[in-house]
Amino acid sequence: MRKGNILIGDHQTLNVVFKDARFNGWSIGEIFATDKQLVPNARRDNFEKNSAYFSLFEQLMTIAASIAKEIRAVSLRRNTTLSNAIDQLNATAQRATSAMDEGVYGSQKGLITKKLKEAHNAVFNSTVNGDSEQYYQDIAFAELDMLIGKLKGTTKYKALNTIDRLTNTEKKILERVIQVVDSLDIVGADMVIEAILNEFSSK
């Protein structure tokens, strides 16, 4: 606050006009006092406590309430954006998991990867306010990273996808082997494929 060329108080002086003092720290501006009855006190940390002072602070509380309302509205919009983005990611992840459980082809992987990246970007671009929102965003990213890793090792064979002990590279090699056996169109090809899967499942 200022009265003429005199600076009154500091960055915390107007904390009292906000119901939540931290909102004062989120507001930028200066108040120029022109009323002659508003007299700076000797310490210059506020005005003398007279009727003009109390009238000023009553008006400032109304202004502060309006500022706080806007801050909360912005915060709510941001929370909603993050919440909606995480919901979108979870729905996409659930659909991706269901598809992977059944086995996916190369073209399907591309589509799933695209959807997961879109969901990731939606969460990433959401504004985070505070530790709690940061926590939920970090959890969403961790789950997404795990899902993308799983997708890389997913083949079009459901039985092969369920063998957790195999690396992504091993699954890819076995997928090619099974594809070759399947393409030979020989009697007993299904039995050979089943034997291969059983061999690796039992280890």
Mean pLDDT by 10 residues, the chain (203 residues): 93 91 87 94 94 93 90 71 83 85 77 86 82 78 84 77 77 84 82 80 65
Angle CA(146)–CA(151)–CA(155) in degrees, nearest 5?
145
C-alpha 26/C-alpha 109 separation (Å) is: 45
Coil, helix or strand at residue 6: strand
All residues at 6 or more sequence positions from 2 whose CB lies less than 8 Å from its CB, including other chains = 8, 30, 31, 32, 33
- Count Cβ atoms within 10 A of the Cβ of residue 156 and give its class: 0-12 exposed, 13-18 middle, 19 or more buried: middle
pLDDT given at position 77: 66
pLDDT given at position 125: 86
All residues at 6 or more sequence positions from 85 whose CB lies less than 8 Å from its CB, including other chains = 119, 122, 123, 125, 126
C-alpha 41/C-alpha 57 separation (Å) is: 15
Beta-bridge partners for 71? none
pLDDT given at position 60: 95
Q: How many residues does this entry show for the chain?
A: 203
pLDDT given at position 120: 86
pLDDT given at position 61: 94
Per-residue CA distances from 45 to 6, 36, 120 (Å): 10, 18, 49
